[in-house]
Amino acid sequence: MNLLEEVKSIVEDKFRRESADHDWYHIERVLKLAEYIQSKEGGNLLIVQLAALLHDISDHKLNGGIKNDCGRVSREILSRLKADEQLIDQVCDIVDKVSFKGAGVNDVIASLELDIVRDADRLDAIGAIGIARAFHYGGKNDRSFYEPDLGPLLHTDFDSYSSDKSHTLNHFYEKLLLIKDRLRTETAKTIGVDRHRLMEGFVSNFLKEWNVNLG
C-alpha cells in the first residue's frame, strides 16, 4: 500500500468503532468533499487527503477531553509510516486548526489546504447530515432537544465552547447556522447555501411544532 492507503486503513479501523456523529462515514464524507473542493480550487491533493483523513484522529470529543491533540497523533502515525518530514509538518499544521473553537474565536488563516479541509469538515456539519449528527451527538450525551429558558452563548474561547453542555437546538445558534459565513473557498460557499437554507427551515419548523403553532 502507498502512504495514503495506509493512513486510510488506520483511520478506518479506528473510526469504525465510533458512533455515527464522528464515525468512519463522517471521515469518508469529509475526504470526498475535500477532494471535490481541491479539484475546483487547487492546492496539494495529498496534503488535503491526509489532513482530511486525520482531522479527527484525536478530537477532544473522542479522546476524553484533550484539546488540540490531532497534530501530535497525526505526527506519530505519519512518522511510523516513514512519510516525508516536510509533508508531516504540513499535514500536522492543518489538523489542529480545522475544528470550530467557538463563535467568538477567529479561524486561523494559513493555507489553501487548510481552507479546503476545514470547509469540507464544516460542510458535513450542516444540512440534512448535520442535523442528524447534531441530534445523535446530543442524544449520546444525554442532552435535551430544547429548553426554551436556556438561550445560546457565543463562546469567546475554546475552553468554554468545548465544555458547554447546552441543549441541541442551541448548537444551531452557537455553531451550525454560523458556518455558512465562515466558509472560505468559493466551492464550499456554493455548496453551503442550500445546506444552510435547509437548516433554517428545520429550526423554524421545529420551533413552530414545539410551540404547537398551528396557525
pLDDT digits 0-9 by tens, 123-180: 999 999 999 999 999 999 999 999 999 999 888 888 787 778 889 999 999 999 999 9
Q: What is the dihedral of CA 135, 63, 17, 119, to 10 degrees?
A: 60
Asked if residue 117 lies in contact with residue 94, where contact means CB atoms within 8 angstroms, the answer is: yes
* Of the candidate ranges 26-35, 102-111, 174-183, 205-214, the one whose mean pLDDT is the lowest: 102-111
Number of residues assigned to the chain: 215
Domains of the chain by residue range? 3-210
Return the pLDDT at 155.
Answer: 82
> Class of 3-210 per CATH?
mainly alpha
> How crowded is residue 207: how many other Cβ atoms within 10 Å of its Cβ?
13
Q: What sections of the chain are H helices per DSSP?
A: 3-15, 24-41, 45-54, 70-80, 85-95, 112-123, 127-140, 158-163, 168-174, 186-210
DSSP string, 72-98: HHHHHHHHHTT--HHHHHHHHHHHTTS
Largest CA-CA distance found in the chain, in angstroms, rounded: 64
Asked if residue 124 lies in contact with residue 33, where contact means CB atoms within 8 angstroms, the answer is: yes
Asked if residue 27 lies in contact with residue 52, where contact means CB atoms within 8 angstroms, the answer is: yes
Closest CA to 118 of 97, 133, 102: 97
Is residue 100 pLDDT above 90, yes or no? no
Q: Would you state the cell numbers that stand for residue 207, as one nine-digit string? A: 420551533
